[in-house]
Amino acid sequence: ELECDALCKDKTLHRVLRNVNSQLLVVRPDLNVAAFEDVTDQEMQSGKGMHFSIHCYKTTTPLAGLPVAFSVQVENKSYYMCCERECGKMIVRFKEGEVPKEIPGESNIIFFKTTFTSCCSQAFKFEYSMERGMFLAFEEEGYLRKLILKKPSEDEVDETTKMSL
């Protein structure tokens, strides 16, 4: 029995994503933005755009980390996270649709989940599968802490890439 190289969906976790400031990642498809925000308990109950499904995939190459894809429900519609090149820069997007059960090859929706540091097993970083060294992070843009893809310096710990589930 040969195991195929396709990524097959294994399990799905339902979580919120927090940054180092304990802010929650909130997706607003109408504004085409995902940003970390301070959220009240009441807002969290309604949960619009902040309760993520983290789809874990089986892999034959576990060294890179656990392959995951993200989706979120907003206004009874499902959106999945992907990355696209725009004007020479990688942009994180949320597109309407479902995450596939199998991914035959490379995919712009897969991120490798690894622990943030060896001594910090409760926090994670997510490396983009199609561009090694690029991680999900946040960037201050005015009053927003936008979700971005970032290549952090290798010789220092970059807290903007640290996320907890």
Query: Residue 1: what pLDDT?
Result: 47
Q: What are the two backbone dihedrals, phi and then psi, of residue 129, each rounded to the nearest 5 degrees?
A: -70, -25
Higher pLDDT, 115 or 43: 115
Query: Are 69 and 53 a contacting pair, CB within 8 Å?
Result: no
Q: Strands, E, within the chain: which ranges?
A: 7-15, 24-28, 33-37, 52-58, 66-74, 77-86, 89-96, 102-103, 111-117, 120-128, 135-141, 144-150, 163-164
| Domains contained in the chain, CATH given | 9-164 (2.80.10.50)
Residue 118 has pLDDT above 60, yes or no: yes
113's CB contacts (< 8 A; 6+ apart) are 54, 65, 66, 67, 68, 124, 125, 126
Query: pTM of the predicted model, to two decimals?
Result: 0.90
Average pLDDT, integer, range 111-122: 86
Give the model confidence (pLDDT) of 62-103 as tens digits. Answer: 678 999 999 999 988 999 999 999 998 999 999 999 998 888
Query: Residue 62: what pLDDT?
Result: 67
